[in-house]
Amino acid sequence: MDKHSYIEELEARIEKAKALLAELQTERGQRLQALQHAEIERLEEHLAATEHKLEDLKAVGADAWHELRDAIESLWEEVADWIHERMHSRD
């Protein structure tokens, strides 16, 4: 193979790799968007569950509220962790 043929072949390989890279970048963007959407849905579910538990807490008697408090704190901890992770990943 002479120099000219090698250069043409190398240029073709580079163009093919660039096309693959563009596809991968598009797929990555789509996956990130889907992942972000799933995380937002998860947060919405946790917030809704926490609000539901809050309503339960308002309705229970003085003796049973400790059990609900533990469940609420567990849910809230997940929400707070999610928020903390997202805030630090933006830096």
Q: Where are the domains of the chain?
A: 3-89
Share of the chain above pLDDT 70, in %: 97
Judged against a pLDDT cut of 80, whether residue 74 lies above it is answered with yes
Share of the chain above pLDDT 90, in %: 5
DSSP result, the chain: --HHHHHHHHHHHHHHHHHHHHHHHHHHHHHHHHHHHHHHHHHHHHHHHHHHHHHHHHHS-TTTHHHHHHHHHHHHHHHHHHHHHHHHHT-
pLDDT at 69: 78
25-64 pLDDT, tens digit per residue, is 898 888 888 888 888 888 888 888 888 888 888 887 777 7
